[in-house]
Amino acid sequence: MEAYGNVEKYFSFPAFIIVLMSMMGLFWSGCKLAFRKRMTYVVFVSFICIGISFLLFHLLIMISGTLTNESAQKVRSAMRKRDLKLKKDIAEENLTLWKIYAMDRSLIITSLATLLTYGILVGTLGKEL
């Protein structure tokens, strides 16, 4: 569990930045696809590829963090069932995004829904990006 704590200590901020940048890139490419009036086939395909790559970066970080937290929770539960005397070893630690939010399955859906909501708001305002 010590290695798990080190991952949280050193990689939570970079994970936060990667998730933030991937959401921004995904939103940017989606808005360009939705609101650009004239677009050649090459530009259209490039925006699709950019959007897919940002979505993959986003999902890679989110899903791996979520699965790691779920596995750690199962390990903690198994250790508690065995009633180990070392309480320090089963301390509650979760992988977070810059110690702001623990990564779980709901965060994946929430982040994608947030992008959709902002897209609808921008589309409603009718701004040209």
Per-residue pLDDT tens digits for 28-41: 999 999 888 899 99
Q: Cα(15)–Cα(24) distance, rounded to whole angstroms?
A: 14
Average pLDDT over residues 51-63: 94
pLDDT number for residue 82: 74
Residue 51 has pLDDT above 80, yes or no: yes
Residue 115 has pLDDT above 70, yes or no: yes
Instruction: Work out the percent of the chain whose per-residue pLDDT is above 90.
Output: 48
Angle at 99 between CA 98 and CA 100, to 5 degrees: 90
Q: How confident is the model at residue 85 (pLDDT cuts 50, 70, 90)?
A: low
Residue 100 has pLDDT above 90, yes or no: no
Q: Cα(70)–Cα(3) distance, rounded to whole angstroms?
A: 16
Residue 15 has pLDDT above 70, yes or no: yes
- Is residue 22 within 8 A of residue 58, CB to CB? The reply is yes
Average pLDDT over residues 54-65: 94
Q: Cα(112)–Cα(55) distance, rounded to whole angstroms?
A: 9
Residue 88 has pLDDT above 60, yes or no: no
Which residues, listed in sequence order, are joined to residue 97 by a DSSP beta bridge? 101
DSSP string computed for the chain: -HHHHHHHHHHHHHHHHHHHHHHHHHHHHHHHHHH-S---HHHHHHHHHHHHHHHHHHHHHHHHHHHHHHHHHHHHHHHHHTT-S-GGGG-----EETTTEE--HHHHHHHHHHHHHHHHHHHHHT---
Average pLDDT over residues 69-95: 75
pLDDT number for residue 37: 85
